[in-house]
Amino acid sequence: MRLKIPQFLLALVIVGGLMLGGCSGQQSASNNASPSSNATSAATEASTKTTTEASSVSQNTNSESIPGMKDLPRLEGKATVVMTVKGSPITIEVDGTNAPYTAGNFVDLVQRGVYDGLSFHRVVRQPQPFVAQGGDPKSKDPKTPAQLLGTGGFVDPKTGTERSIPLEIKPKGAQQPVYSKTITEAPVLTHKLGAVAMARSQQPDSASSQFYFALADLAFLDGNYAVFGNVTQGMDVVNKIQQGDRIDSAKVTQGAENLKNGGK
């Protein structure tokens, strides 16, 4: 069923907030963007998606043409991550088959212990279920001002700079994902209830460590944000997450051997 006009406009505002919450330190201009300007960007992007004819997959950028991609962690296959929130486990299947770099980044950060102790700084359930978003390293310090939460990313200790990963979305029927831009084709990994995806700023290649759980089917986000996994057990725990709740721990329980270029 198509969204009614008021629901669609509400969705654009919510998406704008998601983009603001996904800002990385490398995108200072986006960090200072107001929710209204982000919503406008989202509206433009959504309009383009619905009116632009789907482009040929063969013309899309591939990973070999993006500088630094070969050095990023990647997951060759699948892995299982168990994330514990307030003492209760959430089992996540991470899909490196269809999103190798996005999945690899997440598994690498889990293995580094980056998510342990971080909070969910943004949880939206009203007026309709949307997302539970966390993963900002700044949230580890309980003294961090609330207005700064949602602006941080993982700083690689080897380089001293924030790691950013390209937007990575694989269209159905394609041999490999499309990088660094949104798509109009239907993706393999969709924003179904329980999907796990990366937050980002207005810049496509700005995702770092922040992720979100989809609290409902959010098809209007498909093709715009990189889904890399889904909750297989513990959705009841996800549905109870409140803003400010912290991740006790996150552990890779299966598939760690599929991670390449990971480090600690």
| Distance between CA atoms of residues 28 and 70, nearest Å | 26
Q: Region 217-234: what's the mean pLDDT? A: 98
Sheet architecture: strand order including 211-214: 120-123, 131-134, 211-214, 195-198, 227-233, 88-95, 78-85, 247-254
Binned at pLDDT 50, 70 and 90, residue 55 comes out as: very low
Please, what are the domains in the chain? 5-53+61-260 (2.40.100.10)
In this predicted structure, the answer to whether residue 56 has a pLDDT above a threshold of 50 is no
**Res 172: pLDDT:** 97
Q: Region 5-26: what's the mean pLDDT? A: 47
39: three-class secondary structure by DSSP: helix
Do the bridges between strand 74-75 and strand 247-254 make them parallel or antiparallel, or are there none, so unpaired?
Answer: unpaired
Q: What is the DSSP string of 170-198?
A: PBTT-SS-EESS--SSPBSS---TTEEEE
**Res 70: pLDDT:** 87
**Res 67: pLDDT:** 74
| Distance between CA atoms of residues 139 and 149, nearest Å | 6
